[in-house]
Each structure stands twice: as C-alpha cells, then as structure tokens.
Amino acid sequence: MQQIPPLWLSPETHLARSTPDHPILYFSPRVLHDVANRFQRGFPGLVTYAVKANPHPAVLSNLVAAGITGFDVASPAEMDAVRAASPDAVMHYNNPVRSEVEIAAGIAHGVASWSVDEPSELDKLADVPKSCEIAVRFALPVAGAAYDFGSKFGAEPDMAIELLKRVAAEGWTPALCFHPGTQCEDESAWVEYVHAAKRIIDAAGVKIARLNVGGGFAANRDGVAPDLEKVFAAIWVAVDAAFGDDKPGLICEPGRAMVSESFTLAARIKGIRKAGEVVFLNDGIYGGLVDIRDMGLPGRVEVVAADGTRRGADAQPRVVFGPTCDSLDRLPDGLPLPRDTQIGDYVLFPGLGAYSSAMSTQFNGYGLSDVATVIELSGQARP
Ligand SMILES: *Cc1c(COP(=O)(O)O)cnc(C)c1O
C-alpha cells in the first residue's frame, strides 16, 4: 500500500515529539497552494514554476494540484522530476547553454519552448521540431535584483534582433524572454525589459507569440510580505503601453517567491561558547542556510526549546557557525538570538523554501534532506 507520511500540526509539535538531531524543513502545502493561487489570480498570463528553486517531489506535485501546468526546467534531471509529478505538464527549457545530449533529452521529453541567446546555441537546435516555440533571451544592464543574471545569460538587443529574425525565418514560433535576476524588489526592472522587448520586435519586424517576463519576484525577507500585485500591475501597464491591442501572451516563471514561504527550516544548537557570543548549529552554508550567505540575514528567526516552547528573552547578537570543520561555514552576519537560548534548542528560519534543500551538500556528512509536512507555519506572512 502507498505510504502516506504523517501530517504534523506545526514545527513545534514535531520538534517536541521527536527532538530530531538533524536539520529539517517543515513544509506546509496549504501555504504553497495559497501562493500558487495568488500568482494565478494576479498575473495576467501563464504562471510557470522555476524548478531549480526547489525540485522536491512534494513541491512539484502540490503545484500540479494547485493548477500549475507549466514548468521552467534547466536540465534533463529537472525534466524527469516534472514528468514524475505530471504526465502532461508543459516544459520550458530555459537554460540557454546545452550539450547535444541535453538537447536530445529535451526533444524526447517533448519540451514545448526553448530559450536561446547566442547564434551558436541556435545552430545546435536544428533537430527541435518546428512546432516548438523558441524564445530569444535578451539582457539589459538594469539594476534592481539581489544579483544579476544578465552577466551570464542573455543576448544584447542587437544580437537578439538577429536571433529573432532567424527563429522566424527557420520556422519555429518566435518569442522573447528575459529574467531580471533573483529577489528583484523594484518593478521598474520588468518595465524597462518590456519596453526593450517591443523595440527588439519592431527592429526585427517579427511578431512574437509570447513574452516571458522571467522570475525574480521578491520573497519575504524581513517579515513584510512583498506586494506581488503591484509588480503584476506594473508589468501589465507596461505591456499595454508598449503593445496596445497587439499584446503577446505573457509567461512568468517564479521560483523563489512561489516556494519560499511554504517551508521553515529548523536547525539545532549543538554548542554555545564564549558566554553565548558563539553558537554552533547543525546546519550551515554548505547545507540549507546557503541562501543566507548569498542574500543576507532573514528578519524572522525564532528559537524554540526541545519541548516546543518559544524562547522569549531579548535578543543578543551571536556569531553563528555551521556544523562542518570548515571555518568558512559561518553565517556572514551572525544572528540575534534570545538570551535564554540553550544547547539543544532549535532555531526556526521561516521563508526558507527556495534554494535551501536544492543547494544543500553532504559536506562532512552533514546537510539537509529531511522534510516533514505540517498544517501550520508560524511567522509566515499570509497573502
Ligand atoms: C532561476 C530562474 C528563475 C527563477 O528565479 P527566482 O528568482 O527564483 O524567481 C526563472 N527563470 C530563469 C530563466 C531562471 O534561471
């Protein structure tokens, strides 16, 4: 018979009953459904999910259950993961540098849309069926994101014009795509890209079927829920101003903002030294806390004792090390933790669904692999 894993009331009840000595992610499918619904209600086009943010089977199958039909994949392994979650999910293969073997895998998986940002990469796609869409990925030197993907991928507008002409001339369905970067807190990045897209298609003299505005939607970093609807509205106003009655279909591909709030990470305190100034956790930058190294301190950390009760004393700044024997395994900004924190307590990090388990290594025999399903997550902002 199929195993159905237990559903816990909350991270606190699970911690109190099982006092795990390894880091755990607590997943609330309800929160994921709420966020997926918010995107589908608010975004004026097709909402796809960028699998790399969190490819856990429970994430993919719950997104399918919430009505998500399209997935942004970057590798054959991600295609397999999507297929396992849904036999008819639509895949967009938006990693623009591909080996011959990867291209064959994409064709075999029935990828519907392929991005391209270089003539040499378009040359490689000769065997892609003409029924597919090829989206030219372009990049602008715009700020606004926590880090900039334009430095790695994306054709400059002049090259994008030439690529778009070639895609149309060679018989695929032409489209354009961009990705403004991750944790993009300024909607003007999308606005600039939308207007640049219009200039590219005018210069190419090609009508595009769809414009993919990428991911990069901000997640809650400091307890203030980002105003996604404001970003959706700014994108729609820009598309309306640029394209009028001749709008392309729109696609977005959130990763971080889709999944981050539905997981809370719990790491246990292994050691406390120097009158509380230094704390050792059983997870760190080689595990599920790597995004804290890259994105900075989250604002919503809580500490619970092994019996599940919350530590309530005022906060004291701490130096925080992870469990490995590498001195780099340290949270760059430390963490303020309550003064009554003790060895054996758990630090709860809400909003760690994205780029956590997906990027965790097994370095030194540590790492994040366990997920428990919960009904409620505290500390997470409701949409
Ligand atoms: C990583 C990525 C995304 C998702 O980015 P988030 O910041 O997680 O929303 C979307 N599209 C492409 C092409 C990506 O590489």
pLDDT computed for residue 86 by the predictor: 98
Q: Say which CATH superfamily domain 7-26+260-374 falls into.
A: Lyase, Ornithine Decarboxylase; Chain A, domain 1 (2.40.37.10)
Q: Report the separation in Å between the CA atom of 143 and the middle of ligand 1, taken as the mean of its atom positions.
A: 16
pLDDT computed for residue 150 by the predictor: 59
Round to whole Å and give the CA distance between 69 and 57.
Answer: 15
Q: Which two tokens stand for residue 283?
A: 């997870």
Sign of the torsion angle spanned by Cα atoms 354, 358, 369, 336: negative
Of 132, 177, 184, 325, the catalytic one is 325
Q: Report the separation in Å between the CA atom of 121 and the middle of ligand 1, taken as the mean of its atom positions.
A: 20
Name residues whose C-beta falls within 8 Å of residue 77's C-beta, 6 or more positions apart in sequence. none
Mean pLDDT (the chain) is 94
Q: Report the separation in Å between the CA atom of 183 and the middle of ligand 1, taken as the mean of its atom positions.
A: 10
Q: How far is CA 157 from CA 52, 216, 264, in A?
A: 27, 20, 40
Residue range 124-157, pLDDT digits in tens: 999 999 999 999 999 998 766 665 555 789 999 9
Q: Which two tokens stand for residue 163?
A: 């690529």
325 is catalytic: yes
pLDDT at residue 168 is higher than 70:
yes
pLDDT at residue 383 is higher than 50:
no
* The amino acid at 231: V
Atom from ligand 1 closest to the CA of residue 217: 9
Q: What is the mean pLDDT of residues 86-91?
A: 97
pLDDT at residue 116 is higher than 60:
yes
For 53-57, 166-170, 183-187, which range has the lowest pLDDT when averaged over its residues? 183-187
Residue range 313-353, pLDDT digits in tens: 999 999 999 999 999 999 999 999 999 999 999 999 999 99
Q: Report the separation in Å between the CA atom of 258 and the middle of ligand 1, taken as the mean of its atom positions.
A: 11
Q: Which two tokens stand for residue 22?
A: 């390894």
Q: How confident is the model at residue 201 (pLDDT cuts 50, 70, 90)?
A: very high
Q: Which of 35, 72, 212, 260 to mutate to test the pocket of ligand 1 (most atoms within 8 A of CB)?
A: 72
The residue whose C-alpha atom lies closest to atom 10 belonging to ligand 1 is 215
pLDDT computed for residue 381 by the predictor: 45
Protein residues with CB under 6 Å of any ligand 1 atom: 50, 52-53, 72, 94, 179, 182, 214-217, 253-257, 354
The two domains 7-26+260-374 and 55-254 share their CATH topology (first three levels equal): no
Q: Specify the CATH number of the domain 55-254.
A: 3.20.20.10
- Segments making up each domain of the chain, as ranges: 7-26+260-374, 55-254
Q: Which two tokens stand for residue 29?
A: 């499918």
> Which pTM does this prediction carry?
0.95
